Structure 1
């Protein structure tokens, strides 16, 4: 199962599956996946949310 890390600026908020991150943020699964895209990263500042896949 794939795990992801959710950051806000330099602060690690949670590590878990897409579903766990979505529940934590109270958003849809698709929103978490969008946070991981280059498009989202270009639209937001470094202080925004970031989702990174953990291998």
Structure 2
């Protein structure tokens, strides 16, 4: 992904990488302060049941 930004925006690798990682860092920081509320039910699948595609 950083390589696409390098070519499209004509920037250095360091700049392209920062442009990729900074939004991810901001999202992680915002979500880390959220407290989950409510009830959550966990229903594990039986070990003999196939899940996937």
**TM class, shorter-length:** 0.3 to 0.5
TM-score of the aligned structures, taking structure 1 as reference length: 0.32
Structure whose CA Rg is larger: 2
Would you tell me which structure has more helix in proportion to its own residues? 2
